[in-house]
Amino acid sequence: MNNQGRPTSPTALNAVAPHTVSGSKALDQAVKLIFEVGDLETTGIDLPEPKGGKSRLGANARQGTIGLPGLSEPETMRHYVRLSQKNYAIDLGVYPLGSCTMKHNPRLNEKVARMPGFADVHPLQPISTVQGALELMSELSHWLMTLCNMPAVALTPKAGAHGELCGMMAIRARLDADGQTQRRRVLVPESAHGTNPATAVQCGFTVDEIPASGDGRVNLDALKEKIASDPDTVAGIMLTNPNTCGLFERDIIEIADLIHAAGGYFYCDGANFNALVGRVRPGDLGVDAMHINLHKTFSTPHGGGGPGSGPTVLSDALKDYAPVPYVVETKEGYDLVEAVDSDSFGRMCAFHGQMGMYTRALTYMMSHGSDGLRQATEDAVLNANYVQASLSDVMTPAFGGVCMHEALFDDRFLKDTGVETLDFAKAMIDEGYHPMTMYFPLVVHGAMLIEPTESESKQELDRFIGSMRHLAEKAKAGETEMFKQAPVYAPMRRLDETQAARKPVLRWSEPEDGKLAAE
Amino acid sequence: MRYLPLTDSDRAQMLDVVGVSSIDDLFQDVPKSARLSDLVDLPKHQSEQAVERHMGKLSAKSVSAGSVPFFCGAGAYRHHIPATVDHLIQRSEFLTAYTPYQPEVSQGTLMTLFEFQSQVAALTGMDVANASMYDGSTACAEAVVMAKRVTRKTKAVLAPGLHPHYAAATQTLASTLNIQINERDCRPGRDDHMIDHIDDDTACVVVQSPNVFGEIIDLRPIAEKAHAHKALLIAVFTEPVALAAITPPGEQGADIVVGEGQGIGVGLNFGGPHVGLFACTQKLVRQMPGRVCGETVDANGERGFVLTLSTREQHIRREKATSNICTNSGLCALAFTIHMTLLGEAGITRLAALNHEAACDLADRLSAIDGVELVNDTFFNEFTLKLSKPAAEVVDALAEKNILGGVPLTRIQPDGDAHLLLVCATETNHTDDFAAFETALKEVLS
C-alpha cells in the first residue's frame, strides 16, 4: 500500500493504556488454547483416504473419540508463533541464569543435527549402515576425554541428572564388586544442587551433608570429621566444581585424596565445567566420575527445558562399570557393545543416548577448537568478574575475592527496603532482562546468582550493569511499590503459584456449557 | 572466534575494572599442579564451512532411513513430519529459552506444555500427564519406582512382551532401590500368563501394548488381577500413533501409562532425543515424577500457566524428591504438540488407519513367502515374522541389497529366538518399498 502523503506525526497524548476488545496489545497477541479454537474435524495435514481393509487390531480396536482438536496449517503456524512471542530467549537478550549457562546457540549446530546420516537413522539399523553416526560418537568421546583428561566416557545419559545417576551407579557397582557393600554414605555439601542428594538416594545411598565454610567452600575440617566418624561407610563425595557459589574449591585435590584414602570415590558435578574447559582438566583434580551437560557447556539449546545430554567421564577405577551401549573401534570399523557384559552396571535408556545433542556439541567444539574453547572459558570468567566488580558498590557480593563463571550476590543490600530478591528479579523483567537464578544456592540468604556467559559483549554487559545499578538504587531509595508491582511490561503480571499448587488444574477440560467441536 | 564478542581492548579494560593484571589472576584458586598453561591437544578453531564439510562427510557414511526401503520399528518409528513442525521448534523464543522458571516471560513454553499434557492425557485416556520425561524407557523405570512409593511394596512384574531395553532400564534403576523384578521369558504370546506372577507383594505389573512383538494385549484382566492384590497396572507403549487405533489404556484400568512419544513430531535421531510420555490417575498425581504445568491467574485475574507441584521435586525436596529428574524433553514435547495439533482427531485417526493398512499389506505379502511365518494374531503397524534362517543374517543380507528390513529380536534380546524378525510399516512406505522388500526377502531365504 502506498501511504505517501499520509505520514504519521506523533502527537503528545496523556497515554492511558486502552482496554482492547481482542485482548491483544499490539504485537502481544491474545492466544486461546488449541482446545478452545480447534475442533475434531479440522486437520492441517493432507493424508490419503484409507482403503478400509480388514482390521487386525482384534477386540481392542478403539471405540469412540480421543478428544484431540486440530487446526489448519496457517492457524497452527499463527497459534505457535503468537505463543513463542510470549517467551524470553537468549536470542532476545541477556539471560543470566546462574548455573544454567545460557550461552549463544549457533545455528550451524542445528543444521548439522538435521543431516540425514544423523537425524534420519534408526538406532537398531545394522551396524554396517551407521558407521558415520558411530564415528561421530567416537570423535565426541575423544574430545570430551581429552578436555577432561579422563580415560573413558559414557555417552548415554540423557541429561545432567541422568549423568549423575550414571556416575553414582558406576561407583556403587565398583563398591559392590569389591565387596564394599557397607559403603552407602555419600557426602554432599549443603550448597549442592538438589539433584545431587536426590540422585544419591535414587542409587540407594544415604546423604550426609557437609557444611560450608565462611568463604563459600567446603569446610575441610567438617569433611575430615564426617569421614573420620565412620570411614568404612563412606561411598564417596558429590562435589560441584566450581561450586554453586561460583567459586573454585581450592582444596579440591586434598578433598579427593581424603576421599580416596577413606576408600570412597569422587563424583564431580560438571554443571559448571564451562568455567574450566581448556584451562583445568578434572582428571588432574582426582575426579572419578563427572557428567558434562552438553546443553550448558557445549551449547546444545535448552529448548524450554530439554532435551539435555549428560555424558559422564569415568576414571580407570570406574570405567569397566560403564553402562551399555558404548562404541568400540575394531579392524572392520566401529561397533556398538549393546549386551550387558560382566562388569557394566547395565543399561540406562532404550538406545544410544542423545545423538541429536552429540552432533550439536561436537560441531560447537570443532568450531571453537582448543584455542576457542579456552578463550570462551576465559571470557565467561572475565564477564562474571566484570559484573561482580561493577556492582559490588551497590549490591552485596556474597563472598569476597574473584569468582569463576558466575557472580553470587546476597540480599543484604536490600535490608530494610521491603524489597525482596523475588521483587528485584521481577523488576529486572521490566528492564528487559531475564532474571538471574534466585534463592539458589541455599547457603546464601536471598541469593542472586548471575552467569553472563562468554556470549555477552561488553556493551551489552554495561547496559545490564546500568539496569542493575538503577534497580539497586531505586530499592534503597524506598521505591518499594514499583518492585512489588513488577513486572508490568511482561505479557503477564505476577502469577498465583499458590493457587496453582493448591487446586492443580493440569489439563484442559470441557467447560460445562460448551463442548469441543460443538459446531 | 566468531562466537566471542569481546575484543582484546574490551578484555584489557574489563580486567582493569576487576582490578587484576591478567586473566590468569582470575584462576588463582586453581591448585598450581592443575593449571594448564598450554592448549589441550585438539585441533584449533575452524570456519563454519570447514566444520560443515567434515560433518557432511560423516553423515554420508551412514545409510539414512529415507534413502532406502525401510522397515525398522521396535521402539523408534519413522513418520512424516510436516515442515511446519521443524520451523516452529527452531524459533528462537522456543529453542533458546530455559525451563520456564519465570512464568511472566515464559507463557509460550508453559501454554504449549499445558496443551501437551492435555493431548497426552486424552490420547492415553488418563486424568493427567506430566510435561515429559527423557524417553519411554526412562519413563517406564520411573513409573516402577513411583509404584513402589505409592504401594510401599517392592515387587515389580514385567510382562514378557515389554521392550527388552525398557526392562533393562527399569532393572538398572530398580536394582539400587531394592525392587525385585521377575525373570522374563521374552517370547510372543506370553503376556496373558503373567497374571500368575501377581500376588500380594506385587507393587506393579508392567504391560506393553502393542508389545515389542506388535501384539495388542487386552489389559483388562491384568488390571483386575493387579487391583485385587492392591498393585498398580503400568501400561506401556512405544508407538504413540497406535493409541489412536486401539482402546486407550486409561479405559482398560491402567493406573499409570508411560511410553515413547517420538512417533509424533520427532525424528529417529539414532535413538535420541526422543520424548517420554507419563500419565496417571488424578489420585496419584502428587507421586508423579517430573515437571508439571498448571493453570492459574495473574495479578490482573488473567488466566496464565506456571510450573507447579514442585514440592515433589529435587530442587525443593532434595533427598526426599520423587525423582532426581530436572531437565525433561521440552523441545521434543513442543514438536509432539505442534504435530498433534496439525493432525487433530481427524488426522491422527487417519494416520493410524494408514499405518495399520500398510502393515496389513506388508504382513500379507511377506507371510506368503516360503520360510516366513507371521507370528501375530493381532498387530497395529509392526509384527513379528518367524524366518527359516536366523533373522540377524537375513537383515544383514537385506542391508547388502540396500533394504533396512526390520530388527532381529536378538539385537535387543540376545538370548531370544534367533529366527524372529520384528518388522514395521508406516505411512512413509511406498508400495514399491513393499515389492522390493518382498523380492529381496525371497532371494535371501531361498
Tell me which chain A residues have a C-beta less than 8 angstroms from the C-beta of B18: 382, 385-386, 388-389, 402
| One domain for residues B169 and B283 | yes
| One domain for residues A119 and A240 | yes
In this predicted structure, the answer to whether residue A2 has a pLDDT above a threshold of 70 is no
Last residue of a domain, one of B339, B356, B378: B339
Any CB–CB contact under 8 A between A357 and chain B?
yes
Q: For A422, left (φ over 0), alpha (ψ -120 to 50), or beta?
A: alpha
In this predicted structure, the answer to whether residue A14 has a pLDDT above a threshold of 80 is no
Tell me how crowded residue A134 is: count the other CB atoms within 10 A of its CB.
22
pLDDT interval class at A519 (50, 70, 90): very low
Segment 186-205 of chain B within 8 Å of chain A by CB = none
Cell of B171: 532393572
**HSE value, Cβ hemisphere, 13 Å, CA-based, for B151:** 27
What's the CATH number where B398 sits? 3.90.1150.10
Tell me which chain A residues have a C-beta less than 8 angstroms from the C-beta of B23: 378, 381-382
Contact B302 A493 (CB under 8 A): yes
Q: Is residue B49 part of a domain?
A: no
Picking from B45, B304, B347, the nearest residue to A45 by CB comes out as: B347
Picking from A42, A164, A172, the nearest residue to B324 by CB comes out as: A164
| One domain for residues B113 and B222 | yes
Q: DSSP readout, A48-87? A: PPP-------GGGB--S-----B--HHHHHHHHHHHHTTB
Contact A89 B326 (CB under 8 A): no
| One domain for residues B245 and B366 | no
Tell me which chain B residues have a C-beta less than 8 angstroms from the C-beta of A63: 247
Q: Is residue A19 part of a domain?
A: no
| One domain for residues B372 and B406 | yes
Residue range B210-233, pLDDT digits in tens? 999 999 999 999 999 999 999 999
Q: Is residue B3 part of a domain?
A: no
Residue range A444-469, pLDDT digits in tens? 999 999 999 999 999 999 999 999 99
Q: Which of A259, A235, A269, A278 is nearest to A149 (CA)?
A: A278
Phi, psi of A235 (to 5 degrees): -90, -35
Q: Is residue A10 part of a domain?
A: no
**HSE value, Cβ hemisphere, 13 Å, CA-based, for A477:** 9
What's the CATH number where A213 sits? 3.40.640.10
| One domain for residues A329 and A354 | yes
In this predicted structure, the answer to whether residue B387 has a pLDDT above a threshold of 80 is yes
Q: Which of B192, B70, B218, B18 is nearest to A61 (CA)?
A: B218
> pTM of the entire structure?
0.97
Q: Is residue A502 part of a domain?
A: no
Q: Is residue B411 part of a domain?
A: yes
Tell me which chain A residues have a C-beta less than 8 angstroms from the C-beta of B44: 369-372
What's the CATH number where B269 sits? 3.40.640.10
Residues β-bridged to residue B303: B297
Nearest Cα of chain A lies from the Cα of B343 at a distance, in angstroms, of 5
Residue type, A257: D
Q: Which of A323, A266, A322, A261 is nearest to A289 (CA)?
A: A266
Average pLDDT over residues B432-439: 97
Contact B172 A346 (CB under 8 A): yes
Q: Specify the pLDDT at position B261.
A: 98
Q: How much is the mean pLDDT over chain B?
A: 96
Q: Specify the pLDDT at position A518.
A: 36
| One domain for residues A139 and A268 | yes
Contact B10 A458 (CB under 8 A): yes
pLDDT interval class at B169 (50, 70, 90): very high
Average pLDDT over residues A156-179: 97
Q: Count the domains in chain B.
A: 2
Q: For B344, left (φ over 0), alpha (ψ -120 to 50), or beta?
A: left
Residue A434 lies in domain: 371-488
Cis amide bond preceding B43, omega within 30: no
Q: Count the domains in chain A.
A: 2
Q: Is residue A51 part of a domain?
A: no
Q: Specify the pLDDT at position A52.
A: 86
| One domain for residues A277 and A345 | yes
Chain B CA closest to residue A460: B5
Picking from A91, A135, A305, the nearest residue to B61 by CB comes out as: A135
Q: Specify the pLDDT at position A496.
A: 96
Cis amide bond preceding A242, omega within 30: yes
Nearest Cα of chain B lies from the Cα of A359 at a distance, in angstroms, of 8
In this predicted structure, the answer to whether residue B158 has a pLDDT above a threshold of 80 is yes
Average pLDDT over residues B198-206: 97
Residue range A389-425, pLDDT digits in tens? 999 999 999 998 999 999 999 999 999 999 999 999 9
Residue B418 lies in domain: 65-81+345-445
| One domain for residues A356 and A257 | yes
Average pLDDT over residues B387-394: 98
| One domain for residues B167 and B233 | yes
Last residue of a domain, one of A344, A366, A388: A366
| One domain for residues B302 and B434 | no
Contact B309 A124 (CB under 8 A): no
- Contact status, residue B225 vs residue B143, Cβ threshold 8 Å: no
Contact A123 B15 (CB under 8 A): no
In whole angstroms, what is the distance from residue A372 CA to residue A322 CA?
Answer: 30
Chain centroid offset of residue B249 CA = 17
Nearest Cα of chain A lies from the Cα of B35 at a distance, in angstroms, of 6
